[in-house]
Structure 1
Amino acid sequence: MRFSGFAEASDRKFDFVKKARYFFIFSIVITVLGIITLGIHGLNYGVDFRAGSSVDIAVKKDLTGQKDEIEKYLKDSGFGEPGLTVGTSRVTLRFDDVLTDAKEKTLKEGFNEKFDKDASAEVNTVDVEIAKELQTNALYAMLVASIGIVIYVSIRFEWRFAIAAIVALLHDAFIVISLFSIFELEVNLPFIVAILTIIGYSINDTIVIFDRIRENLRFAKLKNAADIAKLVNESIWQTLTRSINTVMTVVVAALCLLIFGSESIRLFSLAILFGLVSGAYSSIFIASQLWLVLKNKQKPKAAVKSPAAS
């Protein structure tokens, strides 16, 4: 379907472009709330990004009703008050200090004796230098991914599309980070993988809409800003079904991982779910409208040219 699709979509009531200011305001409010939350609470870094030890204990019986007893045992045994998560089949401990071999042995033996003789524990330790290096590498990974996307979109389309795309990507990543800060969810290496996955998904969805806008620009006779606005609105409508179907398909897969997956990938699945919703929202309601704002800042003659011609 090319520009002729305008006739088919012209009777649709919802005007994405006309309502763009409300979407922009909503996103700005969410961003400000996220900045405030991050300033107050920060992020709940896991052992991957701070020095300490993480102990994952696979248990054969449900200990969810014995959380207080486990906390008391740890305190009385000299382990302090580590972060504690008790699930139906797993108990997770997060220590700010690195456990020595002697303490690891005492913890495993004591837990088996007091709570579950068949439990098996896995200890992961990260020292200060490694934690700092992981933080730095994670930031570099996101920065390189963002720069690569800007370069690709600039070459494939034009710089206005690139700016709109990167703002949408930053919007999606920040929404997920803010939600993890608000709910004090643990941020670890799988979380970084989730952010990079979200960036890849979001740019894919955005590019589909941008490609339709570019395709329609080639066959349109545009005389004023209203014509460009109509083109953007109809381009979104032409790709809306595809966008919704894609996000719902991936949401089902992420939900299955969240519900049936192991404890180690639960937060990864949750981050993916947050990102999928945010990515679909930004692709439909933010990216294209932002491109339109940038496009309308051109001189009247340049505004009606196809990006391919410029």
Structure 2
Amino acid sequence: MEFFRQTSAMNFMGKSKIAMILSIIMVLSSLAILSLKGLNYGVDFAGGTIVQVKYKGDAPIDMMREKLSTNQIFEGASITEFGSADEVVIRMRTTSSDVVVDVGDVTKAALVGTGEFEIRRVDIVGPKVGSELKEKGLMSLILAVAGILIYVAFRFEWRFALSSVLALVHDVSIALGAIALVGLEVNLDVLAALLTILGYSLNDTIIVFDRIREGITNTRDGEFGDIINESITSTLSRTTLTSLTTLFVVFTLFIWGGEIIHAFAFTLLVGIVVGTYSSIFVASPTLLTLGFDVKKYHVNLSAKAAREAEKERMRSQFESGVM
């Protein structure tokens, strides 16, 4: 299926300067939001206790706060709705004395008289474990980007590798800025979404780069910008179909998936939009800016073919006993 039946290539590179300015503004805005607001680390990374409580009717949050305030364990605890008015989440800091008791039983006893309810979930993560998870999460992102850099440099060339990594940094920065802006909790689900964005964005970029490499191989005297325009245009239908179908699924999860998957779906929504944009208006323009001499590429290609032919000739002479 083709959405775009173009007889001539669209001039994407003609709009690359505007796109790059827009990208710089978005990345700088994201960094500013991150420095001013910071990330709202969840229990997975900050450590603490989460108790999920479901009532038969609407949860009496004011009464719950009053009841919990009488117990020292719940000092500084926050109570928020969890997807609906009848379900709430109690978040509190974990101390060494808290983990020796069953927090679920303590919560159940403290909330007696607030209505009919059940404890659905109790999650406890110590501060040390949370810190280790945060460090390992950051390390996983760094290793993923480093692995991508090596893979693309080996498969294509260093200019392609640098362009793809800059696009990935662009995508993750904007996604983190959006998360900080809306105040979502950063937990392991969000980390999984960020790693998914890396893979999704790289997949889009590699497809465009593959087509660019084909264009370079088949064209000796063409301008590099024209080759990029033709390559992006030829993959536009595929990019649109893939992005839209993925976006529909993630949007469905975001609307109807429930509170547990809300942060994961939101991160993917931002990442899919930004990742599709960056494969066209960040990675490709960066590749053009770094410069690529098509004629020099063909000269090197011819020299490599000549060396291979000479090796083959010498091998055949050796096998036939002629030196």
Q: TM-score range by the shorter chain?
A: 0.7 to 0.9
**Is residue 91 of structure 2 the alignment partner of residue 94 of structure 1?**
yes
Question: How far off is 1:93 after superposition?
Answer: 1.8
Unpaired runs of 5+ residues, structure 2, are: 305-323
In structure 1, what is the equivalent of residue 311 of structure 2?
none
- Tell whether the 8 Å contact from 1:9 to 1:238 is kept in structure 2 after alignment: no
- Tell whether the 8 Å contact from 1:191 to 1:267 is kept in structure 2 after alignment: yes
- Tell whether the 8 Å contact from 1:60 to 1:116 is kept in structure 2 after alignment: yes
**Is residue 251 of structure 2 the alignment partner of residue 252 of structure 1?**
no
In structure 2, what is the equivalent of residue 111 of structure 1?
111
2:13 partner SS: coil
Partner AA of 1:185 in structure 2: L
Stretch of structure 1 that moved more, 35-44 or 53-62: 53-62
TM-score normalised by length of structure 1: 0.87
- Tell whether the 8 Å contact from 1:74 to 1:81 is kept in structure 2 after alignment: no
Distance 1:290 1:308 in 2: 27
Question: How far off is 1:53 after superposition?
Answer: 0.9
In structure 1, what is the equivalent of residue 41 of structure 2?
45
In structure 2, what is the equivalent of residue 295 of structure 1?
291
1:9 partner SS: coil
Trace 1:41-80 onto structure 2 (pairs within 5 A): 41-63=37-59, 66-78=60-72, 79-80=74-75
Q: What do the CA deviations read for 1:117-151 (whole angstroms, capped 9, x no partner)?
A: 3x223211111211111011101111111111111
In structure 1, what is the equivalent of residue 78 of structure 2?
83
Question: How far off is 1:58 after superposition?
Answer: 3.6
Question: How far off is 1:261 after superposition?
Answer: 1.6
In structure 1, what is the equivalent of residue 309 of structure 2?
none
Distance 1:23 1:134 in 2: 36
TM-score normalised by length of structure 2: 0.83
In structure 1, what is the equivalent of residue 312 of structure 2?
none
1:192 partner SS: helix
Unpaired runs of 5+ residues, structure 1, are: 1-5
Flag the 1:164–1:112 CA change in 2: closer, same or farther, 3 A: farther
**Is residue 280 of structure 2 the alignment partner of residue 284 of structure 1?**
yes
1:114 partner SS: coil
Trace 1:128-143 onto structure 2 (pairs within 5 A): 128-143=127-142
Measured on the aligned residues, the alpha-carbon RMSD in Å equals 2.5
Q: What do the CA deviations read for 1:56-97 (whole angstroms, capped 9, x no partner)?
A: 22444343xx44443343335442342332132531122123
- Tell whether the 8 Å contact from 2:94 to 2:127 is kept in structure 1 after alignment: no
Flag the 1:107–1:25 CA change in 2: closer, same or farther, 3 A: same
Question: How far off is 1:250 after superposition?
Answer: 0.8
- Tell whether the 8 Å contact from 2:31 to 2:177 is kept in structure 1 after alignment: yes
Q: What is the number of residues matched between the two proteins? A: 295
- Tell whether the 8 Å contact from 2:51 to 2:119 is kept in structure 1 after alignment: no
Name which one, 1 or 2, has greater alpha-carbon Rg. 2
Trace 1:1-310 onto structure 2 (pairs within 5 A): 8-10=7-9, 12=10, 15-63=11-59, 66-78=60-72, 79-86=74-81, 87-88=83-84, 90-98=87-95, 99-100=98-99, 101=101, 103-111=103-111, 113-117=113-117, 119-222=118-221, 227-296=223-292, 301-302=295-296
Partner AA of 1:217 in structure 2: I
2:121 partner SS: strand
Question: How far off is 1:190 after superposition?
Answer: 0.5
- Identity among equivalent pairs (%): 34
Flag the 1:62–1:9 CA change in 2: closer, same or farther, 3 A: farther
Partner AA of 2:39 in structure 1: L
In structure 2, what is the equivalent of residue 3 of structure 1?
none
Distance 2:6 2:300 in 1: 21
Question: How far off is 1:233 after superposition?
Answer: 1.1
